[in-house]
A and B are shown apart, each in its own frame.
Chain A
Amino acid sequence: MTLPVLLALVVGGIAGIAAILHLMGLTTPYRFSNGHDAISAWEREVPERPATGFHLSSDSRASLVTFEGGVGIVWSFGGDTVARLLGDTPPQKTQNGLRFDFPDFGSSALKVRLKETDLDIWMKALEAQ
């Protein structure tokens, strides 16, 4: 197979499959249906630290999770969820909420949408840790 043919197949294949998936509605991000859903997602990822509380974001795509001795965050990642423990580095305030930067190279920065009331709750929970 010549390189131009291979290139066309690969680029066309990726673009075509992406378009079909998007048109099928498979780009819709996951949203937590309630706090128990968020806790379940947290404990799937971090089973050794059972959750003691949660605070959902305004768009239900992230949740702060408290556990004995610390705080973490679980968030919607495509059609799935990801969780991280939160360390000492505080998040940055943005126009729409908070931005979390994680020390591991395997996570991009996370922007969480929070209304004013939710932002206050999150900040208090983060400061309490």
Chain B
Amino acid sequence: MTDHLTYPDVVQLAVPFFIIAILVELVWIATKGRGGRYETRDAVTSLIMGAGNVTSGILLGFIAWGFFMVLWEITPLDLGTSWWIVLICFVLDDLRYYWVHRFGHRIRWVWASHVNHHSSQHYNLTTALRQTWTGTFTFMMVVRAPLILVGFHPAMVLFCGGLNLIYQFWIHTEAINRLPRWVEAIMNTPSHHRAHHGRNPRYLDCNYAGVLIIWDKLFGTFVPEQDDDKVDYGLVHNLGTFNPLRIAFHEWVGIYRDMTQRGLTVRERLMYAFAPPGWSHDGSRKSSDELKQAHLRRHPEDKGSAGFS
């Protein structure tokens, strides 16, 4: 059994690349006069959220690592470390990412962690770094358990997860329009991910892919970016703060306040934590499905088009 296996922390190693790429995108936008927007406080907030994400990984990473190592002790399987095992691990971890990401949009407890990534009204390379500080508390590390139990070493699984995140960095841009058809068909691209960041009803809860867009096509969540419905970035109810603490914790505070309201049944309290975002016991809020229906009542001509089928 492979006990001591180490891979580089690729996300930390990529930090200089992130900085250079942001500067390149900025110069591109400034010289071409198109390809995205930057605003100082928005960008700085995104970068601070990214730094906080790295910090939380350093401080809390031992929890997930400890869990994975327990699983590694339990499992009798060891697939080894050959390059094709790493490749299979990468693809399966990308499938894992798809489901964790989908849970992140459909379960409020997980959304509370993921929401801050969507809280910018801009879409540029700094938005990619606007990452969660509270991912550990979603317990989504359990979704990685099958990978380890079938024999992929925890270090390899985390290495593949890091590569996945680095891939996703460059797709957070408006500077790249569409790529060749075969790339758009297989890979997650800036176009597909722009749609994912849209607050337009059409784009709610679509394109959860990390690297391979095939998962969305397979599981019925793919919506292509539409030229006649420009993506409006941000949240359905946009945040009114650049305070990183409020951004990181606002949805957790919302869950707490909702769950502790007076007069609710136990089921209703649990639904506030685990139902899709927008669920409410009195119907005073709208889920993404209800937002789509409300949009269709205002714009019946959109019925049957992408994102409304």
Contact = CB atoms under 8 A, between A and B. Distances in A.
B41 A78 contact: yes
Chain B interface: which size bin?
35 or more
B12 A1 contact: yes
A106 B41 CA distance: 16
Interface string B232-272: 10100111111100110111011000000000000000000
Contact of B40 (A22, A77, A83, A107): A22
A100 to B, nearest CB: 10
Contacts of A16: 19
A110 B239 CA distance: 12
B241 A106 contact: yes
Given A9-B15, A13-B47, A14-B47, A27 B41 contact: yes
A69 interface: no
Contact of B39 (A1, A20, A78, A104): A78
A82 B12 contact: no
Interface in B142-195: none
A21 B38 contact: yes
A25 B47 CA distance: 19
29 contacts: A3-B58, A6-B12, A9-B15, A10-B51, A14-B44, A14-B48, A17-B23, A18-B40, A18-B47, A22-B40, A27-B41, A45-B237, A45-B238, A47-B298, A77-B238, A78-B42, A78-B242, A79-B122, A82-B240, A84-B240, A104-B250, A104-B254, A105-B253, A105-B254, A106-B241, A106-B250, A106-B251, A107-B241, A110-B240
